[in-house]
């Protein structure tokens, strides 16, 4: 039977091939931490990790991810074992309504790895790059209508500083 690994557990793929990963999480698994903001890859609210890389869960059919490892916000950290970035989001007040937050955090967790890997971004090619602008660029796939952007950048910067210590 075709499966994918979700937050460490095998789950069977849905019968209807039209089901996206995002709708699969909601309709079949009742996992609602991953949000639907646009359903067309234009907002990033549904960001999850697939084999460690961030993707928009709304733009992948579940069947395309057979045998892949999917991590959602529920797999990032729990109430009593928060990921450092989740704690930093709270400390820096990096969210208001909270609807884009799961996607921001999944994106941020992935960003930390991308920086460690030395992956380039558009800011790598700009005339005067700063870490903050680089984070901003890399987080630009996650819209936040409450306008928490500066605090999101601060939260990520804090975790990077912590990791480098």
Partner 1 sequence: MATPNSKIVGSAVNRIDGVQKVTGQARYAAEQMSEQIPLVGWIVASDTAVGEITSLETGLAEQSEGVHAVITYKNAGPLKPFGKPADESRFTQSRAVLNEPHIRHFGAPVALVIADTLEQARYAASLVDYTIEGQTPELLTHFEGATQVPDSLDGGFEPDATSGNRPDNSDVKTSVDSTYTTPSQISAAMEPHATVAEFKNGKLEVFTSVQIIASAVEALAITLEMDAENIVVQSPFIGGGFGSKLGLHYDATLACIGARHLKRAVKVVLSRRQVFYNTPHRGHSTQQMTLSANSDGELLSIVHKSAMPKAKGYEFAEATGAGARVTYQSQYIESTHRVKDVDLPLIDSTRSPGDAIGSLAFESAIDELAHEAGVDPLTFRLNNLPVVHPMKGTPFTSHNLGECLRQGAQQFKWQHKPQPSKGKVIGHGVASAMRMNVFVESSAQVEIDEQGKVTVRTDMTDIGTGTYTILAQIAADALQTSVDNVTVQLGDSRYPASCGSGGSFGAASTGSAVKRACEALLDSIQSQLPSELSNAKLYVEEGKVKAAMPNTDDTATQFLITDYIPTNTFPISAIGKVSEDDTSDDEQYSCGAHFAEVEVDTYTGEVRLLRQYGMFSAGQILNIKTASSQIKGGMVWGAGYALTEGIHHHENSASFVNPDFGEYHIAVNRDIAEVSLDFLEEPDYAASPVGAKGIGELGITGAGAAIANAIFDATKVRVRDFPITMDKIISG
Partner 2 sequence: MQPFDVHHFNDNTPLNTFSTAKTSRFLAGGTNLIDLMKLQVETPKTLISLAKWKSANAISQNNTHYHIGAMVSNSDLAKFAHSEPSLSVLSQALLSGATVQLRNRATTAGNLLQRTRCYYFYDTTKACNKREPGSGCTALNSMNRIHAIFGTSDKCIATHPSDMAVAMIALNAIVNTQLPDGTERKIALREFYQAPGDSPHIESVLQDGELITHVSIEKKERGTQYYHKVRDRSSYAFALVSVAAGLTIKDGRAHNVNLAFGGVGTTPWYPEKAIRVLEGAEISPEVISQAADAELATAKVFGSNDFKPLLLRRTLEKVLMEIFTHQSDHPHHEGALHGNA
d(CA 135, CA 147): 15
DSSP, collapsed to helix, strand or coil, labels residue 62 as helix
Residue 124 interacts with partner 2 (CB under 8 A): yes or no? yes
Exactly one of 99, 115, 129, 157 binds partner 1 (CB under 8 A); which one? 99
Residues from 80 through 119 that contact partner 2 (CB under 8 A): 107, 110-111, 114, 119
4 vs 153 by CB, closer to partner 1: 153
CA angle 110, 152, 156 (to 5 degrees): 50
Please give the helix or strand (H or E) that residue 57 lies within, else none. Answer: none
d(CA 141, CA 53): 14
Where on the chain is the footprint of partner 1 (CB under 8 A)?
A: 16, 18-19, 23, 26-27, 30, 32-40, 42-43, 45, 72-74, 76-79, 82, 86-87, 89-91, 93, 95-102, 105, 127-128, 133, 135-137, 139-153
């Amino acid at each position: 039977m075709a499966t994918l690994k979700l937050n460490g557990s095998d789950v069977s793929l849905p019968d209807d091939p039209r089901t996206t990963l995002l709708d699969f999480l909601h309709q079949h698994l009742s996992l609602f931490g991953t949000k639907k903001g646009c359903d067309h890859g234009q907002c990033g609210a549904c960001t999850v990790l697939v084999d460690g890389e961030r993707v928009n869960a709304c733009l992948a059919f579940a069947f395309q991810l057979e045998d892949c490892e999917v991590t959602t916000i529920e797999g990032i950290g729990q109430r009593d074992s928060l990921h450092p970035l989740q704690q930093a989001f709270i400390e820096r007040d990096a969210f208001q309504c909270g609807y884009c937050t799961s996607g921001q955090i999944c994106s941020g967790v992935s960003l930390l790895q991308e920086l460690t890997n030395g992956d380039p971004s558009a800011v790598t090619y700009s005339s005067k790059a700063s870490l903050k602008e680089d984070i901003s660029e890399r987080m630009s796939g996650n819209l936040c209508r409450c306008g928490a952007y500066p605090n999101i950048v601060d939260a990520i910067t804090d975790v990077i500083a912590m990791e480098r210590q």
